[in-house]
Structure 1
C-alpha cells in the first residue's frame, strides 16, 4: 500500500457513482457541523474556566503557594478532560430522550433498504493464537445470520491467521474445513496464514489488501471475538453504497458473553450508558469520527490508497511500527478527504471483554503502548483538527491517570505545607490592621460537588432513563436501579486502582519498556487471591503510607481522600471477588447487571453459545502429530501451503528435524522445529516409520 495519497476535497469522492442510483433516505448528512463543535467545546472551556477559578479562589483565599499553583494547573488539565466527556454525555442523553438521529437531528428511524446490494463485500477476521473453536463459532453465527437476510451472495469471509503456535495453526485449518463443509460454504469462506508476522494486525490487513482485497468494494473488519448480525452487516454495506464519500462506517459494538462479576458490571454499564456516549460522539464528530479497529466497514480502495502506516523513527515503544493503528488509519482517511462515521443505531454488533481486572489491565497495557505513540503524530503535517483531537484523546485516555495521581500527591504536599505554616496576621510591617484567615468550606464543597457531578451525572441519568423506560424488564426490571448503585460504588473503588496501574504503564512506556501483543484471555477466568495480592502489593503499600501521612497531616483531608485510599487498600480483595464466576452467576439470578442480550438473546448470540457449548472441552491437539496420523488433515494442510520448493539449506534442516522426530518422537521437538516442518508438506506416518527402519538397518549388529 502507498503511504499517503494526495488530499482530495470531500466532494470529489463519488468515483463515478450514478447519483440516481443512491438512496437519499440514508444519506449521512446533518446541519450545523461547526455550531455543534462550538457548543460542545465552548461549554467545556467555560466549565473548565469556572472550575479553575473556583479552585484558585479556594486555595488562594489566604496565601497561594507554589505547590498550590501546581495543584491548580493539574486540576485544570484534568477537569478539561472530564468536561468534554460530560457534555458529550449530556448531548447523548438529549438525543436519546427525544429519539433523534445524532447526525441528521431528525426523528430516528430504522434503515429501510431499497433493493439488493450492488457491492462486493468481504468480512475479514485477523487472528493471532486465538481459540479456533471460538473464532469459527463467531464466524458461523455471523454467516448463518447473513444467509437469513438473503444477501449472502454479496459477501465472502476471510480468516487471516498470524498464528505462531503450531498446534493452533493446524486446529485453525481443520476448523475452517469443517465450517466450509457444515455451512456448504466452499468458495465463500477462505483461510490464509501469513508466513511472517510483521506489523501485527495492521500488517496482516495490509498483506490481505495487497493480495486479495482488490476483488471487493468494502471490507468489514472483525476481531477474533466479534459477532455481527446479518442485518447489521447488510445495513453497513448499504450505507457505504449510498454514501460514496464514506471511507469508514463504525458500529458501536456491545460487550456480551462473559459471566464473571467484573465482566457483568462492565457489560451492564456499557449497555446502559454506552449508547448515550455513542450518540454524543456521533453528534459532534460527524464525518470525522474515529475508528476502533473492528466491527466497522471500510472502503477497500480508499484504505489501500491512503492508509499505509509509516514507521516511526527511533526504537520501540515510542518508535517503530504503530501498534494502535486504528486511530491513525481514520486520520489518514480524513486527510485524503474521506469521511468516517459512527452510527449509534447500528445494532447487532457484539464483542467480548476480558473476564477480570488483571486481564483487563493487561489489555490496557498493550493499548497504552500504542496510544502513547500517537503523541508523536499530534503535530504531523496534513491531519485534520479533529484527527489531532482523537490522537490527543487517545493519549489522555492513559495520560490522565498520572495527571490525576500528580494532582492528588501535590494536594497532599500542599496540605502538609499549610499545616506547618503559622499564619501571619500582619504580613507587612506597614499593615495597621490584621488580615484574618478566610473560611472557604462552602466553596470547597461546591467545587467537590461540581467535579463529582461532571463525572457521574450523565451515567446516573442514563441509568434512570432505562429504569423509567419501557425496556427496563430487559435490564432486570426494578433491579436496574440497584445495579446502577452497585456499579457506581464498584467504579469508585476500581478507579484509583486503574489510576495507579495506568500511571505505571505510562511511566513504563516513557522509560523505554515494551510488551508483547499476545492473545486476549477469552474464558471466564478467575483470579486467585494470592495472584491478586502479588499484583497489587505495591498499590496496597502506597495506599497505607499515603493514608498514614494524610491522617497525620489533617484528619479532614484524610476523610476527603478516603475513597481513593479505600480502593488502593482493598485492591486484591476487589480483584479476587469481582473475578468470581460464582458471584457473577449469583448476581444474574438476582437480576443484577442484566443486559437485553441475556433476557432476549439474539439468534446470533444463541448460535454462538450453542456452538461454543458443543465444542470439545479439551486442549488443542498436537498439530504435527495430527498431520502424521490423519491423512485428511495432512492433505488439507499441504493444499493450503504456497507452491514452492525448499532450498538446499532448508532441506538439510528439515531432514535433521525429521531424523530427531523419528528417533525421539514429537515431544522432543521445539516449537520452532515444528513450525519449520509445518511450513512444508509433512511426511505421513508410514514414511517417517520407513525412515526409522532405514536408520535401524544401518546400525551395527552389536549396538543397543
Structure 2
C-alpha cells in the first residue's frame, strides 16, 4: 500500500460537467429589483440614523453643545448606523418569513424539486488542526451515511485534510480514517492526507488541496471540524451549482446544535429562532454578492482555483502577513472575477457546534478579531465590488463597534461630569436684557432611548413572537418559548457589556501589534470554575465599580441610566461561571427552556452523530509512536500514508540519535518535535529499535537484570 492508494487518480474525472446546457430553470438563482432592494434598505438605514443623530444633537445641544458633547454625537451616530442596518435587515427578514417568500426570487417558498440525478463530481473537504479525531470522524460518518441514503453517493468523495501537529492525534486520525473506510465499505470514497508543513493555516491547507487534487472535481463542500450536513442538503447544494453555472459559492446557514451548557443552549435557542430572520434579510439585499462564512458551503473549484489565491499583506502580523479570516476575502475575489456568491436561507440540514462557555467564545472571537481587522486594509484595495467592501467593513465593525460603544459611554460620562460643574448663566451676553432659561429635553431623551432600544431588540422580539404563535412552537418548548425569549434578552443585556470590554481589549491588542495563535476550538461541554472566571474578569469588575462610583458622584440619574452596563461588568464572573454549568443547562432542558427543534425531534444525522460518538473511544490512541512500535497493522498503515522519499544525510543522523534515545530512555523521554520527526518517516518496529535491548514501554525500558 502506498500514498497513491489513498488518493484519486488525477484527470480521471472530467471537470466542468456542471455547466451542461440542460439546466433546470426552476432553480435559477435570479430575482427582481436588486438595485431597488439596496436603495430601500440603505435609504431607510441612513434616514433612521440621520433622525437619531438629529435627536441626540437636539437633546445635548438644548442649552449649548460642548466639544465633548460633539464627540458623543459622533460616536453615537457611527454606532447607530451599525444598529440601523441590522434592524432593517431583520425587518425585511421578518416580512419574508411572515409571508413565506423566497428571499431571492420573492416568490412563494417551496422545496427544491430535483429533476434527474447529479451530473457533477463533488468532494467534501474537512480541514482539521489538532482536533479530536473521534468527533471529526463521527461528523464525517453521519454525513456520509445520510448521503448514501439519498442514492447520490457516487457523485461525492470525502477528503480529510490534516494540518495536525500533535503526534498522538496524527496517528489517531490515521486509525480513525482506516476504521471509517472499513466500517462504511468506503475505500476509494474517503481519503486522508496530512501536510508536512501547515503554512497559511486553513487557507493554505485548502490551497494545497486545490493545487493537487481539486481539478478532479466540479465542486467542493467545505466542512469545519464540527460540521454535520444531511445528504439532502449536500445534494441540493450540488444541484443548485449545476443549474447556476455563474455561481461561485453557495452558502447554507448552519444551525448551532449539540451543546448542553446553559451558555450554549441560550445561543442555540436564539440562533434557531432569530437566525433565519437575519439570513433571509441578508439574502434579500446581498443577492449574488453574499458573503462566505468559511464552512458548510459549496464552492466551484474551477473558480476558486482561478481567482482565490490570497495575497500576503505587507508588514508584520497581526495587521500584515498571511490573511487569517480568509473566507470574506475569497468571496470578494469571487465577485471581483464575476462569479456570484449566494446565501440560501432555506437550505436546511446544515449544523455546527458552538463554544460551550463565554471564555471559549471570547477566545474564538479573539482569533476572529485579528483576522477581521486585516480587512480594514482590503476595504480600499483596487478592483473589489462595492458590496465586498461593505462586507469587509461589516467584518471590521463587528469588533470595532465595541470600543466605539465604550468611547461613547466614557465620553457621555465626561460630558455629564462637565455639565454638573457648570454654573448656568441666565444672562450670557453683556447687553442681554432677557434671561435665557434652561430647556427641558426629558421627553426627547425618552423618545431617543425608546427608539434606540427598539432598533436593537424589536426584530428579535418579533421573531420570538412568531415562533410562539406559529404551528411549530411545540418544537421550541411550547408556551415556554416566551420565558426562554425573556431570559435570553436579560442574559444578552448582561453579557453585552462584558463582550464590549473584551472586544475593546482585543482591538487594542491587535492595533498595538500583539498576535495570537490559531489553535483548535474547545468542543466539549466544559465549564468555567469560579476562580478562573474571577481571574479573567477581575479588571472588568474594577472598572465597573470605579465607573459606578464616579457615576453616583456625577449624577444619580446618570448612574441609574448606566446601571445595566455596570451590572453586567460587576456580575461578570458569576455570569460566566453559572452560564457555563452543564447541570444548569440540563435543568433548563427539563423545564423546556431554550429548546430547539433539533432537540424536540432530532434529525437522523444528529442521532447518528450521537450514536457514533458514544461508540467511539474504545480504541483511543494514547501514545501514537508507541502504537506504531507495538502494532504492526498501525505501523504498516502509517508507512503507506507517508510520501515515498528518503531523508537527507543530516536528517538521517538526527533520526538515528532520536532512536538511540528512544531505545535507552523510552517513549516518554521524547519531545513532541522529536516524535514528529521520526513519525515523518516509516517507523522502525520494536525489534529493530531495541536491537537486543530490553522491552520498551510507555514508562521507559525495563532495567537489565
* TM interval, short-chain normalised: over 0.9
CA distance in 2: counterparts of 1:474 and 1:309, whole angstroms: 43
Tell me if the contact between 1:137 and 1:612 (Cα under 8 Å) persists in the aligned partners.
yes
SS state of the match for residue 159, structure 1?
Answer: strand
SS state of the match for residue 414, structure 1?
Answer: helix
CA distance in 1: counterparts of 2:19 and 2:307, whole angstroms: 24
- Specify the alignment match of 2:294 in structure 1: 293
- Specify the alignment match of 1:504 in structure 2: 505
1:197-276 matches, within 5 Å, as 197-276=198-277
1:96-135 matches, within 5 Å, as 96-135=97-136
CA distance in 1: counterparts of 2:351 and 2:357, whole angstroms: 19
Give CA-to-partner distance per residue, 1:347-395, whole Å, 9 cap, x none: 0000000000000000000000000000000000000000000000000
The alpha-carbon distance between structure 1 residues 691 and 511, as it changes in their structure 2 partners (threshold 3 A), is: farther
Contiguous gaps of at least 5 residues in structure 2: 1-14, 696-703
After TM superposition, give the deviation of residue 688 of structure 1 in Å: 1.2
- Specify the alignment match of 1:605 in structure 2: 606
- Specify the alignment match of 1:571 in structure 2: 572
Give CA-to-partner distance per residue, 1:622-676, whole Å, 9 cap, x none: 0000000111000000000000011111110000000000000000000000000
- Specify the alignment match of 2:8 in structure 1: none
- Specify the alignment match of 1:489 in structure 2: 490
Tell me if the contact between 1:15 and 1:244 (Cα under 8 Å) persists in the aligned partners.
no
SS state of the match for residue 167, structure 1?
Answer: helix
CA distance in 1: counterparts of 2:406 and 2:584, whole angstroms: 32
The alpha-carbon distance between structure 1 residues 382 and 16, as it changes in their structure 2 partners (threshold 3 A), is: farther
CA distance in 2: counterparts of 1:184 and 1:421, whole angstroms: 81
1:684 equivalent to 2:685? Answer yes
Tell me if the contact between 1:120 and 1:218 (Cα under 8 Å) persists in the aligned partners.
yes
Tell me if the contact between 2:262 and 2:580 (Cα under 8 Å) persists in the aligned partners.
yes
1:68-83 matches, within 5 Å, as 68-83=69-84
Tell me if the contact between 2:17 and 2:119 (Cα under 8 Å) persists in the aligned partners.
no
1:370-519 matches, within 5 Å, as 370-519=371-520
- Specify the alignment match of 1:531 in structure 2: 532
CA distance in 1: counterparts of 2:472 and 2:395, whole angstroms: 33
CA distance in 2: counterparts of 1:330 and 1:44, whole angstroms: 25
Q: Which moved more, 1:610-619 or 1:313-322?
A: 610-619
CA distance in 2: counterparts of 1:534 and 1:397, whole angstroms: 26
SS state of the match for residue 21, structure 1?
Answer: coil
Give CA-to-partner distance per residue, 1:571-616, whole Å, 9 cap, x none: 0000000000000000000000000000000000000011111122
CA distance in 1: counterparts of 2:694 and 2:405, whole angstroms: 70
The alpha-carbon distance between structure 1 residues 652 and 692, as it changes in their structure 2 partners (threshold 3 A), is: farther
- Specify the alignment match of 1:640 in structure 2: 641
CA distance in 2: counterparts of 1:385 and 1:118, whole angstroms: 35
1:171 equivalent to 2:172? Answer yes
CA distance in 2: counterparts of 1:520 and 1:16, whole angstroms: 37
- Specify the alignment match of 1:587 in structure 2: 588
The alpha-carbon distance between structure 1 residues 366 and 579, as it changes in their structure 2 partners (threshold 3 A), is: same
After TM superposition, give the deviation of residue 415 of structure 1 in Å: 0.1
Number of corresponding residues: 684
After TM superposition, give the deviation of residue 693 of structure 1 in Å: 7.0
Give CA-to-partner distance per residue, 1:100-128, whole Å, 9 cap, x none: 00000000000000000000000000000
Tell me if the contact between 2:18 and 2:119 (Cα under 8 Å) persists in the aligned partners.
no
Tell me if the contact between 1:113 and 1:238 (Cα under 8 Å) persists in the aligned partners.
yes
Tell me if the contact between 1:322 and 1:370 (Cα under 8 Å) persists in the aligned partners.
yes
After TM superposition, give the deviation of residue 686 of structure 1 in Å: 1.3
- Specify the alignment match of 2:95 in structure 1: 94
1:50 equivalent to 2:48? Answer no
1:341 equivalent to 2:342? Answer yes
SS state of the match for residue 126, structure 2?
Answer: strand
Tell me if the contact between 2:20 and 2:242 (Cα under 8 Å) persists in the aligned partners.
no
After TM superposition, give the deviation of residue 18 of structure 1 in Å: 6.6
CA distance in 2: counterparts of 1:42 and 1:239, whole angstroms: 32
Runs of 4+ in structure 1 deviating by more than 4 angstroms, as ranges, are 14-20, 617-620
Tell me if the contact between 2:49 and 2:84 (Cα under 8 Å) persists in the aligned partners.
yes
The alpha-carbon distance between structure 1 residues 642 and 586, as it changes in their structure 2 partners (threshold 3 A), is: same
Give CA-to-partner distance per residue, 1:223-269, whole Å, 9 cap, x none: 00000000000000000000000000000000000000000000000
After TM superposition, give the deviation of residue 620 of structure 1 in Å: 4.4
Give CA-to-partner distance per residue, 1:537-567, whole Å, 9 cap, x none: 0000000000000000000000000000000
After TM superposition, give the deviation of residue 218 of structure 1 in Å: 0.1
CA distance in 2: counterparts of 1:146 and 1:579, whole angstroms: 35
Give CA-to-partner distance per residue, 1:191-222, whole Å, 9 cap, x none: 00000010000000000000011000000000
CA distance in 1: counterparts of 2:496 and 2:360, whole angstroms: 16
SS state of the match for residue 158, structure 2?
Answer: strand
SS state of the match for residue 455, structure 2?
Answer: helix
Contiguous gaps of at least 5 residues in structure 1: 1-13, 695-702
The alpha-carbon distance between structure 1 residues 17 and 248, as it changes in their structure 2 partners (threshold 3 A), is: closer
CA distance in 2: counterparts of 1:285 and 1:27, whole angstroms: 16
CA distance in 1: counterparts of 2:18 and 2:352, whole angstroms: 34
- Specify the alignment match of 1:8 in structure 2: none
After TM superposition, give the deviation of residue 692 of structure 1 in Å: 3.3
Tell me if the contact between 1:637 and 1:681 (Cα under 8 Å) persists in the aligned partners.
yes
After TM superposition, give the deviation of residue 509 of structure 1 in Å: 0.1
Tell me if the contact between 2:18 and 2:218 (Cα under 8 Å) persists in the aligned partners.
no
CA distance in 1: counterparts of 2:331 and 2:528, whole angstroms: 37
SS state of the match for residue 309, structure 1?
Answer: coil
TM-score normalized with structure 2 length: 0.96
CA distance in 2: counterparts of 1:20 and 1:123, whole angstroms: 25
Tell me if the contact between 2:336 and 2:385 (Cα under 8 Å) persists in the aligned partners.
yes
Give CA-to-partner distance per residue, 1:497-550, whole Å, 9 cap, x none: 000000000000000000000000000000000000000000000000000000
- Specify the alignment match of 1:541 in structure 2: 542
- Specify the alignment match of 1:3 in structure 2: none
CA distance in 2: counterparts of 1:64 and 1:436, whole angstroms: 15
CA distance in 2: counterparts of 1:526 and 1:577, whole angstroms: 8
1:349-364 matches, within 5 Å, as 349-364=350-365
SS state of the match for residue 514, structure 2?
Answer: coil
- Specify the alignment match of 1:328 in structure 2: 329
CA distance in 2: counterparts of 1:635 and 1:658, whole angstroms: 18
CA distance in 1: counterparts of 2:110 and 2:252, whole angstroms: 16
CA distance in 1: counterparts of 2:456 and 2:94, whole angstroms: 15
TM-score normalized with structure 1 length: 0.96
CA RMSD of aligned residues (A): 1.5
- Specify the alignment match of 1:6 in structure 2: none
Q: Which moved more, 1:679-688 or 1:531-540?
A: 679-688
Tell me if the contact between 2:262 and 2:581 (Cα under 8 Å) persists in the aligned partners.
yes
- Specify the alignment match of 1:698 in structure 2: none
After TM superposition, give the deviation of residue 167 of structure 1 in Å: 0.2
